[in-house]
Amino acid sequence: MQQQHSFGFQIFDDISELNKEDTALLEEARKTTQKAYAPYSNFLVGAAALFNNGEKVYGTNQENASYPVGICAERVLLASASMIQTDVPIKTMAISYNNLSRTGNSNIPISPCGMCRQSLAEYEGRTKQPMRLILSGMEGKVIVIESASQLLPFSFGSESMK
């Protein structure tokens, strides 16, 4: 028997089409890219998240000369979130990037890597609430996904350990 997995998402032409709350969060993610440490790739990633209680937390990618030691903005943010608001779910996370390389641009929506997708899905499972994702660059189209776990079908989670 063949089955199919799919999910819905919204695509906006630019930030001006978002509601006020999402616009503000994406603007903060874009601004946060300035704090990234990416001297090797010049690919600066910033993430901003809004907790259910209205508080916010931020993260940036942190590169390292020993390549596997680096960490993505999303996981920096989730680690901070777990310490700052232990029992408060994240309502929405905005992720943006600024590609400062000679040949790069920053106008295509970014998407979390596989490791970050796993971490986002685990966080959703732990807090028992979907986390909306707003994905963008410094300009151009914006993608909104209603639940981060939609990016990782057939994920490995706590239920897999039982």
CA–CA separation, 27 vs 30, rounded Å? 5
| HSE toward the beta carbon, residue 148, CA cutoff 13 A | 35
CA–CA separation, 53 vs 39, rounded Å? 35
Residue 56's pLDDT is 98
Question: Which CATH number is 144's domain given?
Answer: 3.40.140.10
Task: Provide the strand spans (E) within 8-151.
Answer: 10-12, 43-51, 56-60, 90-99, 132-136, 142-145
* pLDDT tens, residue order, the chain (162 aa): 998 888 999 999 999 999 999 999 999 999 999 999 999 999 999 999 999 999 999 999 999 999 889 999 999 999 999 999 988 999 999 999 999 987 789 999 999 999 999 999 999 999 999 999 999 999 999 999 999 999 998 888 777 788
Q: Is the distance from CB of 4 to CB of 19 less than 8 angstroms?
A: no
Residue 102's pLDDT is 78
> Quick one: which of 140, 63, 62, 142 has its CA closest to 105?
140
* 87 in a structural domain: yes
Residue 158's pLDDT is 77
Residue 157's pLDDT is 79
* 100 in a structural domain: yes
- Total tally of structural domains belonging to the chain: 1
Residue 122's pLDDT is 94
Residue 151's pLDDT is 95
Task: Please give the residue range of the domain that contains residue 92.
Answer: 10-153
Q: DSSP letters along 118-130, please?
A: HHHHHHHHHHTS-
Active site residues: 74
Residue 161's pLDDT is 80
